[in-house]
Amino acid sequence: MNPDLTLVFYNGICYETNIMNYKIIQQQAGRLNPWLLAVMAFVLPLSTSALSVLAILILTVWLVEGGYRQKLRVIIANPVAMAVLVYLALYVIGLLWTEDLANGIEVLSKYWKLMLLPIFLTAVRWEMRRVYVGFFLTGMTIAMTMTYLAWFGFLHYADVTTKHLTCGTFHVIYNPLLAFAIYLLCHEVVWGKIRAALRWLLLGLVSLMTFNMFITEGRSGQIVFFVLLGLLFLQIFRKNILRAGLIVTFLLPSIFITGYQLSPVFHGRVDRARYEIFYFKSNPNSSVGLRLLFWQNSWEIIKKNPWIGVGTGDFPQAYAEVNKQQSPRMGATDNPHNQYIFVLCQLGLLGLAGLLGIFGTQIRQAFVRPDGWERIRLAFPLFFLIIMCTESYLVIAQTGFLFSLFSAVLYARKVSPEASI
């Protein structure tokens, strides 16, 4: 008998299955998934539907590939993956004291993007890190080009106009992704081992993206843009803290003032935010005003349930009760638009510890390997720590996938001695 063949009995009939062919399929699956992850990085700013399809395809290929014991060892040995699993486990435990179990399960299902992190971690290839970043930057360049086409009046769809360059509320996602892309490009310009011609090309792209930041409307992205830019200067001049401090102190305000003076969109968004904050008490029905109202009412929930919250699924009900007493003329919400407040309401200080534990672990792991990527590994958690102040970004599709995918890319262990940076 051929040693590569084995006999399988089904309904009394003997079949021959080729073990070697199955192993070949597994090997091909192992080669395919790293590139599917690269495609996912590319479509991150372009299509949520494509992200979902790719996630299902990656999971299917991952299951076909096998090698579960080795994969489990990789997951257990990775502190970031374990911190995320602990955080997700808290949401499962939170079902024990939630009254609305159905909504609790629905809330848990919204974190399915984070659940993919262990899978991504065992599918990425350390030596392909630059490929993943390159694919993401290519996707962001296409998304940025679309906003410029709309700005010049060449692109018309949905509610996109020459003054509102993104569809619907997509600027809430677009500008944070743009800020992260600008940081990655600047990192490559400063520390990348690239030719002079490519360096100038990337500098041009940085300029286009920076200008784009001020003609689009996402305030969260604009805030984190300044934070990451400040971090970049501190990293560049880390050996001269005084110089770094002076540059950050004078250059960042100069960029802000220039954008405020020259960009009508940025000028309007800043003035609008100031107006909405000032008149919050008398008129909370605005973008900033509603957030302030959500946070104020949510604080009442937190004060009554500080340690373990109201449970995974009871935030909508708890908020509706507080809202009825505090602001009966305003509608209730199922999302306070702040990741920290959200988890405090759901799981209390226990949940907040789990959430901060993820990013604390990432920051600790940033400097474990001096491979030139420690700067990005520090910027990535800082990026999320900032944007989560204004939205529950771990629940939203694009940023949820961004977190899982880049956590895998940045914090995966090197497995090949031949791999180079």
Residue 145's pLDDT is: 96
> Crossing angle of helices 339-366/374-387, nearest 10°?
170
Residue 190 located in a structural domain: yes
Q: Quote the tokens at residue 17.
A: 């299955």
The parent domain of residue 238 ranges over: 21-60+70-411
HEC-encoded secondary structure of the chain = CCCCEEEEEECCEEEEEEHHHHHHHHHHHHHHHHHHHHHHHHHCCCCHHHHHHHHHHHHHHHHHHCCHHHHHHHHHCCHHHHHHHHHHHHHHHHHHHCCCHHHHHHHHHCCHHHHCHHHHHCCCCHHHHHHHHHHHHHHHHHHHHHHHHHHCCCCCCCCCCCCCCCCCCCHHHHHHHHHHHHHHHHHHHHHCCCCHHHHHHHHHHHHHHHHHHHHCCCHHHHHHHHHHHHHHHHHHCCCCHHHHHHHHHHHHHHHHHHHHHHCHHHHHHHHHHHHHHHCCCCCCCCHHHHHHHHHHHHHHHHHHCCCCCCCCCCHHHHHHHHHHHHCCCCCCCCCCCCHHHHHHHHHHHHHHHHHHHHHHHHHHHHCCCCCCCHHHHHHHHHHHHHHCCCCCCCCCHHHHHHHHHHHHHHHCCCCCCCCCC
Q: Are 335 and 394 in contact (CB under 8 A)?
A: no
What are the beta bridge partners of residue 8?
A: 15
- Name residues of the chain where pLDDT drops below 50: 1-5, 7-10, 13-16, 417-421
294 Cβ contact list (under 8 Å, min separation 6)? 319, 333, 335, 336, 337, 338, 341
Q: Which two tokens stand for residue 379?
A: 């910027």
Asked if the structure places residue 204 within a domain, the reply is: yes
Residue 1 inside a domain? The answer is: no
Q: Are 418 and 128 in contact (CB under 8 A)?
A: no
- Is residue 41 situated within a structural domain? yes
pTM for the model: 0.92
Output the pLDDT for position 19. 62
pLDDT of residue 417: 40
Residue 33 lies in a domain: yes
Give me the pLDDT at residue 22, please: 63
Q: Number of folded domains in the chain?
A: 1
Please indicate, yes or no, if residue 284 is contained in any of the structural domains: yes
Give the residue among 47, 45, 64, 44 at the shortest CA–CA distance from 123.
64
Which are the contacts of 87, defined by CB distance < 8 A and separation ≥ 6?
A: 114, 351, 354, 355, 357, 358
List, in order, residues 6 or more apart from 234 with CB less than 8 Å away.
241, 244, 248
- CA distances to 308, 316, 322, 354 from 312, rounded to whole Å, are 10, 10, 17, 14
CA terminus-to-terminus distance, the chain: 47
Amino acid found at 210: T
pLDDT of residue 345: 97
Structure tokens at 254: 């100069």
CA dist 174 and 144 (Å) reads: 9
What count of other Cβ atoms lies within 10 Å of the Cβ of residue 49?
10
Residues 5/17, Cβ–Cβ less than 8 Å: yes
